[in-house]
Structures are given as structure tokens and as C-alpha cells.
Amino acid sequence: MEQNTAKMPIRCKAAVSKMAGQPLEMEEVEVAPPRAHEVRIRILCTSLCHTDVTFWRMKDLPAMYPSILGHEATGVVESVGDGMVEVAVGDTVVPVFSAQCGDCADCLSDRSNICSRLPIRPGGMPRDGRSRFSFASTGEPIYHFISVSSFSEYTVVDVAHVVKIEPGGIPHEMACLLSCCVSTGVGAAWKVAAVEPGSSVAVFGLGAVGLAGAGCGAKRIIGIDLNPEKREIGKRLGITDVIDPNGTDGRTVSEVIKEMTGGGADYCFECIGSTPVMAEAFKSSRMGWGKTIVLGVSNDVGPISIPSHDILRGRSVVGSLFGGLKPKTDIPVLAQMYLDKELELEEFVTHEMGFNEINTALELLTQGKCLRCIIWMNGAREK
Amino acid sequence: MDTATGPLEALELGPLPLATGPTSTLEGPTMAHATCPMATLEGPAQAHATSSVAALPREVADVVVLHLLAWDVLAAKKLPLNHDLGRRLLLVLYAVVKSSSPRKPAQRHRPIYIRTTLSCLASLSSSAPSNTPITPQQPFLRYRLLSSMEDKCPEPIRCKAAVCRAAGEPLTVEEVVVDPPKAYELRIKIVCTSLCHSDVTFWRMKDFPGVFPRIFGHEAFGVVESVGEQVDGFAAGDSVVPTFLSQCSECADCRSSRSNVCSKYRFAVRPGMPRDDTTRFRDADGSPLHHFLGVSSFSEYTVVDVTQVVKVDPALPPPTACLLSCGATTGVGAAWKLAKVEPGSSVAIFGLGAVGLAVAEGARICGASKIIGVDLNPEKDELGKKFGVTHFINPKELGEKTVGQVIVEMTDGGANYCFECVGLAALMSDAFQSSRAGWGKTIILGVEMHGAPLSIPSREILHGKCVMGSLFGGVKPKQDIPILAEKYLNKELELDKFITHEVALKDINTAFDLLLQGKSLRCTIWMDN
């Protein structure tokens, strides 16, 4: 049982990123016990999100090396730090990169989900900035990734980043999706944009985030993606029209969208992380009230370049992390929606594999051949 | 004498010996309105009466109006409408009218003979000395009556205008010819106008959409001189402000509360009128002059599309009404309507010109607790205080720190609302940097003076930030300007402090100098009368 390891470091396997763009290396690591406000989690399953890939490829800050990536996961609490009340050993939990301390002005307000008490500290734990991981052989520290680091059999996470899941409720691999991609897409449509029925929507990038947003119930949901294989699954998940940017007879995507919608879409979601696409999404939005919602995490520091006279015509650009959702409050709501069959999650799981095959997952995602690969830790897959 | 009675039945108009036309063929509703003293009608009924009378053939309209004038005198004296004084008044009035109006009066003569008629009436009524000038406020001699006597065939008007013949050159006051209004247009006699920095931006512009020669000006107050066909809801004599932004009231945007950019008559910097792209102005040699934003208020008379004209309460002082035509409305609207600043908010304003200070005024009436003003001109520190600015930042005096860093410190994380009111992409970026993660909104009002793009950091915006922009502060002209006017009249909104200078039309270039030197907020330019 778990009690044997409480308060002691645990040795286990982790997939470590040592150099930008290189395959992850399976290493034995030591995971320190949780301190106050922290929990140590035994990961059951994790999945690869494109933001992991973005940082995996990044040579400079904010990427740090060596580090343990991964931020979409489901796990079980193995031990807790002193004075922990909120979460108990044995709880099924979903770690989330977006904090909710519950106390700061942002957590107490409806208008924000960006916890101001615990901003993300690159490479370490949010409260002391230090790492709980080290190489078992050398003791050299290994950096965390956005307060989660789920590509490890065990990880330590601050309680502000932990969401409890009802036991026996939502299956673990589905809960894992709520840890980032689906929550981001659904939240953006529901909370950030507040898409009304009858609206026209354009979704740039039909990955898991974009497709999650496609379930928003708008009248017209135009999907834009370079990958023709996304067409079919797009249609299954609510996309009404698909545009291939390479198949527009020389017109720009915004020109095509403006024609299709009689002036521009009410809401444009950027779900890739490409600043030129963000600018194109803006141009595709309707004058008067068109909103562009930026969700993608870009890999360059270049800005989104917008014609300044255009923004005077009543358009707006808003960005959000985690779809504007408050994790502890809203993930249970989404879990219940799944159980009530109001939220589609199965379609997002396109592959399953063991922890040792994690580099295969990387290949599949970078080649656009999967949505979500669920990576099961040894012995964790439910029958 | 008989005692006063209430509204009476139809009074026979009687065979007044006028030169032409039938005198007693008034139909239904017009007759009913004609029986009721104009002074007792209010609002829509009065407007209807006015337009009914205006729709009559001129000779008949004159008869009706003379009767109405006479009846108003009787009502004021609490005499019944069939009192003999009325009949005697009519005979005198008729004599005055016949002697002072030529057969086909040119537009200029009408006001003279109307004024003569009215002053004669005033002296007859003995309620005022005979030399007292007639003012619109006298209840039984409504200014509105003048609208019933409009000329049915307006002609071109020769008048003065300030013309700009080359980019950045001083304006020259010249004689111009202003065509009559076409369908859906109004010709407006400008009472006063003011200079806005957007005029300056396009005044300097050598390439399209800068075009020359052009009559600039888009902030003004005036009186309707004549209306073209198909114009509803306006009549000669109405106090109006022209607006650069249209409101057709029919398109999806006009019908929606979410938008103020009319999609039927889209805002654009065009050389001509919005419906047909032609001009109504010619110079003394007959060469065409370009319009500016469909307003061109640096002229004693101008022609404006009905979608760009807003009626205002005549109780507004003309220079104040003029401010509502653009600058003040843009700033106050942006805070009140677009951003919806809530009590206790922190606000940062980049650029303390008239628009920026109007944002401050708007934020003040919305209850903002911190209003930070940013300007390179140190004189704006003292001036800003009059407008509710609580903290002043001069970017030149910050040393190593950036404006964004200072504001983030001052507001413990960033301001809730940041307004850019200059028109410079670099400032738009500063405004974004100063906004609070989580819910900070950056509102762009300035027209970028070099056409440079706005740069939004792509990762920073993910932290719950928003950038939005608007023309005219998100305001729908025809419904919101009257609301702001009312807020001014009931002293909720303070606007007089925006007017820092005044000049006559002939000195309009002084207004440019003052603005460019940062010495003025709004300089009222009065048209010569």
C-alpha cells in the first residue's frame, strides 16, 4: 500500500527531455516527498498535448533542460504534505497547469481564471520555485513543466493545481482529457466567447482543442486545417464546413470566410499557436461585434500583427488559458456532462499505449496522425 | 372681454385676400392641427403639425402659419380664438407679409421677413417692448414655426468656407457654392465647429485617402436650413449635430445593441457623399471641392446625409453641442458604453487630449477610483486634475522603467481598463502592457497616424487579456447623443471645461496652431453671421 512510501523519496521511471527536439529518455528518477500544500500523485495515465511538443522543440527559455514534460493526466494521491485538508491519500485526481488558490482577487471573481496568488514559475514548484525531481544516479535536479510534469510514474503537484474526481465516475482516460485540451476548447466557446445559438464560428486548427470547441452548438462552424484527414472527424464533432487553406484558389482564408458568412464570423477561435493564423483569424471576424479568441500557445515571441484601423470597427481579440475555466469548479461540471452524455470525449482518444512507447506518441502527434494518445502507466489500465 | 376657453373647433379661415391659391382647402388632420394653437402642442404632435403645414403649397402654408401665430397670441392673452383681436392681427400680418416678401424670395430673404413678422406680432401682443428681439424660448413664438415656412425649392447657396488646397498647408477662407440637398440629405447652416485631431491626421496626409482641395471639419453644431426629399423626422429650423458615423437604423448592425458600425453606410474616408460619391461643394471658379467624412463643417453651410444627422435639444449651448458631435462623445462613450467601467475600477488613459480627457470624465461619472493619465506634455498634469485624473505619468520622466511597469506597480497588477487616445501603435502596445492579467481590457480609440499595425504579444494575451477598438466610443449617434446631452443638462456630465479657446472662421488656422502646440483642448470656431 501507499503508506510505506509516505514522507520518503520514491524512485520510479520518468521520460526526461534532455535536449530540444530529441526523443525523451526513460530514466530512473527520485521524487521527493510532498511539502506543505503539496501532494504526491501516482500517475495512472497521461496524454500528449501539442503545448508539450511546442516546449519540447523550444531551445531557449521558457523551455528548460533537463525537464519532465506532460500536463494532461489522471492519478491517485499517494501522499500529502503536512496540514493537507483538501485532498486525501487515495483520492482520484486530475492535475491541472492552471492554478486555483481560491483566495485571491482573481479566484474570487467570475471575470478571471488567472490565479494571481500562484503565477506559473518556470521549472519549479509554484511556491518555492524548486524542483522535487532529481536523477536517481547523480542527484542532479530535473525541471518541472508548468506545475504538473506528468510524464513520470510519480509527480509532486501543488494542491492549487489538483482537482478531485468522483471515484467510480468518469473513466480515467476521459478525466485525463479534462485536464487540458477538452476543457480549453469547451470553456473557450462556453465561457470566454459565450457563443449563442445561431452564431457563426470559425475554428482555426482541428486538433483536440479546436474540435472540443466545435461542440458549441453554433449554427455554422467552419473548420480550417491543412490536414485533409481532419475533415471526417471534424464533421462527426460538429464542424459544418471545412476549409483547406491550400485549396482556396489563391484567395485568403479570411476572404473565403467573409464570403461564406456574409461579412465575417461572429467568433473566430485560434487553436494552433501561430501568430500569422491569429492575424488571419482576426481578419475573418465580423466588423461590429466579431470576437477573436486566442487559445494556441505560440512557439515564437513575435506578436500578432493587426491592422490598427481594423480594430476600430468594433472587433476584439481576447486570449485565455484553460478556456477561461476555473479547474476545481468547472472540471467536475464537465465530468458530469460527460456522464450525462452531454459531452463527447471518446472520439478524442485515438490511440492507447504503454509508458515505454511515449516517443511513438510524440511522432503520431507531430505527424498529425492522432488526436489524443493515452499513455498508460504500468498496471494502471482498467479492464 | 371673453374669458379664456380650451382648444376650440375649426375656425373658418376666411377669405384673406392673398395673391394666389385656395385659402380654405385644408384636409382632415391638418385642419384639426390648425385649430389648435401651436403653443399647446407638444413633441410628436407638434412635429406632425409642423410637417403637415410644411407639406402644404406655400401660399396656403403662409395662411395657416399666420393664423397659428395670431392664435398663439390670443392663447397667451387667454382670449378666445374668435376674438376680434385675432382678426385685426391677421390683417396687419398679411400686410407685413405682402410688403416684405418678393414673389419668389431667395433663401436669404425668408428669415428677414419671418423675423419682421414675428417682431411685429410681438409689438402687437404688448407682452414685450417692440424692440425686444424674438428668442426661440418665447413660448408662443416657437422657432419651430419657421420650419413650416421653408422654401420648397432650395437653391445653391454662396457662402464662406475654409478650404485646404494642399496637405499640411494653412486653410484659406474662400467663397464657395453649396448645392441644395439631394434625396436623403439635409443642408445645414453651421453655427460653430471645432477642430479634432482626426482632421489634422488627414489634413497632413499626402496620399489617398488624403485628397485635396478639401473642406475639413466633422465636429459641429448647426441648424437645418433645408431638407431634401425622402427626409423624415427633420425640418428646417431643427438644432442638429452632424456625425462622421452613420446610423441607418435598418441594417443588422444598427438593429443590434452589440454594434455601432452601420454596415449599410460604412464609415470610410471618402471624397464625396456616401450614397453617390459626388460632391455638393464648388469653389468660386466652379471646381469641385472634396468632402470630409460626409460632414465638412468648416463651411457656413454644408450638406450631410440624413443618417449622419442627430437632433439635439435647443437648450444646449452651441459649443457644447459641438463637442457631442465627436470628441466628447467618443471619450465618454468609450468609458460608459464600450468598456462599461464599473465603480471602483482602475483606468489608464494614454493621451490627454480632448478624447482622453473625455474618457476621464466618463470614467469619473462611472465611479472609477483610479484614473491614471499618461502624456508627454507636462501641462496636462494640472489640466488632467480638472477632469478627474488621479495620477499623472510623463513617460519622459520615468528613467529606466517603462510606462507599463509603472502602471502595473501603481495598480497592483495592471489597470482594469486601458484606453489609447492618440493613434500610435507603440502606445497601443504600452496600453496593453499596462492592463491587468485576468480581466484587463485595452480599448483603442486613436486613429493610427502612420497606418502602423497594432502588435499584440501572442503569449501574454492568453492570460485573460482583451484588446478591442471602436469608432465613436461604441456609441449609436441618434440614440446616445441625446442621452449624453441630457446628462449634461442635468449636470451629471461636465463638458464646458473642454472648451479652452474660441476664434472666428477667418482665424481657423489659429485653431490648428493651438492644437498642434498642445495648447488647446477644443477651440470653438464660430461662423460669421
DSSP-derived pairing of the beta strands A316-319 and B466-469: antiparallel
Nearest-CB residue to B470 (from A109, A114, A312): A312
Query: Can you read off the three cell numbers belonging to residue B246?
Result: 452613420
Helix (H, G, I), strand (E, B) or coil at A347: helix
Which residue of chain A has the CA closest to B245? A313
Distance (Å, whole) CA B423 – CA B201: 9
Whether residue B147 has pLDDT greater than 50: no
DSSP for residue B411: T
Residue-level pLDDT at B312: 96
Nearest-CB residue to B260 (from A273, A304, A314): A314
Average pLDDT over residues A5-21: 94
pTM of the model: 0.82
| Chain B closest-CA separation from residue A162 CA (Å) | 20
Distance (Å, whole) CA A208 – CA A224: 13
Could you tell me if B331 and B338 are in contact, meaning their C-beta atoms sit under 8 angstroms apart? no
For chain B, the average pLDDT equals: 82
Nearest-CB residue to B462 (from A287, A301, A319): A319
A132, A133, A135, A138: CA torsion to nearest 10: -20
Does the beta-carbon distance from B464 to A113 stay under 8 Å?
yes
With a CB-CB cutoff of 8 Å, which residues 378-437 of chain B face chain A? 413, 425, 428, 437
Q: Using one digit for the tens of pLDDT, what is the confidence trace for B344-397?
A: 999 999 999 999 999 999 999 999 999 999 999 999 999 999 999 999 999 999
Residue-level pLDDT at B43: 53
Handedness of CA B15, B18, B21, B23 (dihedral sign): negative
Whether residue B1 has pLDDT greater than 50: no
Average pLDDT over residues A4-26: 93
Could you tell me if A172 and A178 are in contact, meaning their C-beta atoms sit under 8 angstroms apart? no
Does the beta-carbon distance from A304 to B458 stay under 8 Å?
yes
Q: Using one digit for the tens of pLDDT, what is the confidence trace for B223-251?
A: 999 999 999 999 999 999 999 999 999 99
- Is residue A193 within 8 angstroms of chain B, CB to CB? no
Residue-level pLDDT at B109: 39
Distance (Å, whole) CA A23 – CA B467: 39
If we measure between CA atoms, which residue out of B266, B267, B291, B264 comes closest to residue B277? B291
Q: Above pLDDT 90, what percent of chain A? A: 92
If we measure between CA atoms, which residue out of A226, B143, B147, B487 comes closest to residue A234? A226
Distance (Å, whole) CA A264 – CA A287: 7
- Is residue A285 within 8 angstroms of chain B, CB to CB? no
Helix (H, G, I), strand (E, B) or coil at A382: coil
Q: Above pLDDT 70, what percent of chain B? A: 73
- Higher pLDDT: B111 or B497? It is B497
Average pLDDT over residues A300-329: 94
pLDDT band at B103 (very low <50, low <70, confident <90, very high): very low
- Higher pLDDT: B80 or A67? It is A67
Residue-level pLDDT at A1: 45
Distance (Å, whole) CA B306 – CA B95: 37
- Is residue A261 within 8 angstroms of chain B, CB to CB? no
| Chain A closest-CA separation from residue B124 CA (Å) | 57
Whether residue B401 has pLDDT greater than 90: yes
If we measure between CA atoms, which residue out of A41, A21, A368 comes closest to residue A210? A368
H or E segment and range at residue A241: strand A241-243
Contacts of B233 (CB under 8 A, 6+ apart): B47, B311
Whether residue B44 has pLDDT greater than 60: no
Average pLDDT over residues B276-295: 97
Could you tell me if A127 and A111 are in contact, meaning their C-beta atoms sit under 8 angstroms apart? no
H or E segment and range at residue B373: strand B370-374
With a CB-CB cutoff of 8 Å, which residues 68-127 of chain A face chain B? 105-106, 109, 111-114, 116
Q: Which of A308, A315, A321 to probe the B interface (max B CBs under 10 A)?
A: A308
Residue-level pLDDT at B30: 40
Which residue of chain B has the CA closest to A104? B438
Which residue of chain A has the CA closest to B438? A112
SS3 string, B13-45, reads CCCCCCCCCCCCCCCHHHHHHHHCCHHHCCHHH
Does the beta-carbon distance from B467 to A316 stay under 8 Å?
yes
Least confident range from A115-119, A316-320, A341-345, B11-15: namely B11-15
Residue-level pLDDT at A380: 73
Nearest-CB residue to A309 (from B448, B458, B474): B448
Neighboring chain B residues of A303 at a CB cutoff of 8 Å: 455-458
Does the beta-carbon distance from A308 to B452 stay under 8 Å?
yes
Could you tell me if B316 and B484 are in contact, meaning their C-beta atoms sit under 8 angstroms apart? no
- Is residue A263 within 8 angstroms of chain B, CB to CB? yes
pLDDT band at B48 (very low <50, low <70, confident <90, very high): low
Distance (Å, whole) CA B443 – CA B436: 13
Q: Using one digit for the tens of pLDDT, what is the confidence trace for B162-215?
A: 999 999 999 999 999 999 999 999 999 999 999 999 999 999 999 999 999 999
Contacts of A191 (CB under 8 A, 6+ apart): A323, A324, A325
Residue-level pLDDT at B117: 52
Residue-level pLDDT at B92: 65
- Is residue B254 within 8 angstroms of chain A, CB to CB? no
Which residue of chain B has the CA closest to A310? B469
Nearest-CB residue to B458 (from A303, A313, A314): A303
Q: Using one digit for the tens of pLDDT, what is the confidence trace for B435-458?
A: 999 999 999 999 898 889 999 999
Cis preceding-peptide flag for B105 (omega within 30 of 0) = no
B249 bridge partner residues: none
Which residue of chain B has the CA closest to A311? B469
Does the beta-carbon distance from A112 to B258 stay under 8 Å?
no
Whether residue B127 has pLDDT greater than 50: no
Average pLDDT over residues A164-170: 92
Distance (Å, whole) CA B203 – CA B447: 13
- Is residue B149 within 8 angstroms of chain A, CB to CB? no
Contacts of B288 (CB under 8 A, 6+ apart): B279, B281, B282
Which residue of chain B has the CA closest to A288? B259
DSSP-derived pairing of the beta strands B466-469 and B441-444: parallel
Residue-level pLDDT at B77: 72
Does the beta-carbon distance from A307 to B267 stay under 8 Å?
no
Distance (Å, whole) CA A157 – CA A179: 13
- What is the full DSSP assignment across A149-175? --SBSEEEEEGGGEEEE-TTSS-HHHH
Q: Using one digit for the tens of pLDDT, what is the confidence trace for A88-145?
A: 999 999 999 999 999 999 999 999 999 999 988 899 999 999 999 999 999 999 999 9
Whether residue A5 has pLDDT greater than 80: no
Whether residue B37 has pLDDT greater than 50: no
Whether residue B140 has pLDDT greater than 60: no
Give the distance from CA A335 to its chain's centroid. Answer: 16
